[in-house]
Structure 1
Amino acid sequence: MDEKDNPRNLREEEEETKDLISSLSWEIDYIGNKLFKYEGHWYYEDILQSIPNLNTGFKPQETDVIVASFPKCGTTWLKALTFALVQRSKHPLGDHHHHPLLSHNPHEVMPYLELDLYLKTSKPDLTKFLSSSSSPRLFSTHMPLHVLQVPLKESPCKIVYVCRNLKDVLVSLWHFLNANKGVEWNDFSQKEKIVRVEDYSFEAMFESVCNGVTLYGPFWDHALSYWRGSLEDPKHVLFLMYEDLKAEPRTQLKRLADFLDCPFTKEEEDSGSVDKILELCSLSNLSSLEINKTGASGGVDYKTYFRKGEVGSWKSYVTPEMENKIDMITEEKLKGSGLNF
């Protein structure tokens, strides 16, 4: 019997994880859940338990692609773009009736490593995920880069990170949580509906985010982990800005294709393949699909993943005092890094 399959060793690992969690500092976040601080970042208990599962169980392949992000930075859109781009030979863009993105939410076709796969086990069944049982396998994560460095240390797979202006992230997160305020967020293994009438406080969320005490936060450290990774290893880590994707979608999509070693041919460009992907994956198109209007998973309605997706919508919610505070913190946190919002 393999040592990793030995029940005694598994129990020992579980006990070690529990002992570790009990030793960590913790805070209550803006939705009333306990966050634990581990290696500089904040996690719910069940997500923390996925880290040893990832370290021992995830065996990356050379052709794997991982889409990474801080929550509400454009993850759903980038997942759709990456899937359509990488899978375009298997799923022709002209096949408007059978393309997987027409019948599956982007989060279905690109599972989260720590939430969908390794949350409770080190040996998940990948065959139930559309794109994760064949090559190239497509995964996603909200984990900071240093968490992935143990399982990825021997792998040259590709990581694509999308970042966004924190003020827009804050507004998008607030809307998303309030749209799902009947979901118990501190248990990702089985999200349950709860009774909650009042909205979460925008002001409380703002203060927590500024203090860095938010799931996967602090935001700036999260972004910097991938920014520095992209500078140190540009062949394997690509850093994208959401605002650039919105302003220059064709340029950024072609940049993504080059990075993933699947560049558009001249014939593809002449036939409009770039624009077909952008049209298929546009937020207006995705949000109009039946699967995304009526579907749900884990207690979360797919329609809540789609809002306006605009740049600068924070101006309707963030006061001048809030804007000044968050800008000062951002300037200080990113000082000297070369990363600017």
Structure 2
Amino acid sequence: MSVQVAKPSFEDDDGEEANLSLLFDKYKDTFTTFPKEKGWMTKDVYMYQGFWHQSKNVVSVETVMATQETFQARSTDIYLATLPKSGTTWIKALVFAIVNRDRYKTKPLSSHPLQNSNPHNCVPFVECEVLRNSPSYVIDEHSPRLFATHIPYTSLPQSIHESGCRLVYMSRNPKDVLVSLFHFANKVRRDPLTIEEGFEMFKKGVIPNGPYWDHVKGYYKASIEQPTRIMFLTYEDMKSDTTENVKRLAKFLGYPFTEEEKANGKEELEIGGTISQPK
């Protein structure tokens, strides 16, 4: 089986901004009544179903509500869930490489999508699909689909809960999430946050898709209750023993490494000659 390569995120979809504006107009009378706090990357964040979300963004309260209403999951889907700044790009690259390794094993390394495109283009956010004029997931109805999401477990579309699909969650040490989020936010803000402000906001749970602990606990509890369907990973374990955890991940996804692959060292997923670890 092969997994299709999604279109680059909105680079070839002229209507995404218009569609986001339509969603904003559709839901503004609803979400503007929600509890509100100062945001990290956007002016404000709004609480929806117990979690804080940005607005007027491709991953936002508007796209979460629209995804809940319209998205239809399949049993063959694979979803990668994280909080922002918890290794999202890395887990996307790893999973894409695992499930597509047979597809590209006889082709030049230079043709591999991860050599030519950002992992976010290879594994799109499910929240973004509602903004596309031509959603990437309807291109091939028979291929397994890879999606990422920041949506809390309890807010996932009902079709995901009911589909029986596989889901991988990766958590990261909250101190590192805070520091990474702080630096990322200050790259896009006009009025930089101080680390003291960021700490107080994080402590209150006011981060995109947070509170942190509620997000992590939701997926952890689900993984205990449904271990064959939901896998819980930590960024720290993945980094300390990448090879063994990639083997576990591949087996869980239904793409286990063969003895020949293990003997050849392919479980290290050498892309460009190095193990795919975050820089």
TM-score range, shorter chain: 0.7 to 0.9
State the alpha-carbon separation in 1 of the partners of residues 120 and 43 from structure 2: 24
State the alpha-carbon separation in 2 of the partners of residues 31 and 66 from structure 1: 25
Give the count of matched residue pairs. Answer: 253
Matched, 1:166 2:174: yes
Range that drifts further, 200-209 or 273-282: 273-282
Question: Higher RCO, 1 or 2 (CA under 8 Å, sep at least 6)?
Answer: 2
Q: Which residue of 2 aligns with 1:88?
A: 101
1:111 to 1:134, Cα distance in 2 relative to 1, 3 A: farther
1:34 to 1:64, Cα distance in 2 relative to 1, 3 A: same
Q: Which residue of 1 aligns with 2:51?
A: 41
1:228 to 1:124, Cα distance in 2 relative to 1, 3 A: farther
> What SS class does the counterpart of residue 160 from structure 2 fall into?
coil
Q: Deviations over 1:128-153 (max 9, x none)?
A: 99xx8762211001110111151213
User: Pairwise mapping of residues 123-138 of structure 1 onto structure 2 (< 5 A)?
Assistant: 124-126=134-136, 135-138=143-146
Matched, 1:68 2:68: no
One-letter amino acid of the structure 1 residue matched with residue 129 of structure 2: L
One-letter amino acid of the structure 1 residue matched with residue 231 of structure 2: L
- Gaps in structure 2 of 5+ consecutive residues: 1-22
Match of 1:99 among 112, 115, 126: 112
Q: Which residue of 2 aligns with 1:117?
A: 129
1:53 to 1:97, Cα distance in 2 relative to 1, 3 A: same
Larger of the two Rg values belongs to structure: 1
User: Pairwise mapping of residues 4-43 of structure 1 onto structure 2 (< 5 A)?
Assistant: 17-30=27-40, 33-43=43-53
Q: Deviations over 1:94-150 (max 9, x none)?
A: 732211100011111011111x212x46x7521699xx8762211001110111151
Contact 1:54/1:151 (<8 A) preserved: no
How many percent identity over aligned positions? Answer: 36
Deviation at 1:261, TM superposition (A): 0.8
Q: Which residue of 1 aligns with 2:148?
A: 140
Contact 2:67/2:157 (<8 A) preserved: no
Contact 1:69/1:75 (<8 A) preserved: yes
Q: Which residue of 1 aligns with 2:14?
A: none
> What SS class does the counterpart of residue 91 from structure 2 fall into?
helix
State the alpha-carbon separation in 2 of the partners of residues 277 and 152 from structure 1: 32
Q: Which residue of 2 aligns with 1:150?
A: 158
Matched, 1:201 2:213: no
Match of 1:259 among 232, 248, 252: 252
Runs of 4+ in 1 over 4 A off after TM superposition: 13-16
Deviation at 1:277, TM superposition (A): 3.7
Deviation at 1:39, TM superposition (A): 1.2
RMSD: 2.6
State the alpha-carbon separation in 2 of the partners of residues 276 and 137 from structure 1: 20
Deviation at 1:282, TM superposition (A): 2.9
State the alpha-carbon separation in 1 of the partners of residues 33 and 93 from structure 2: 39
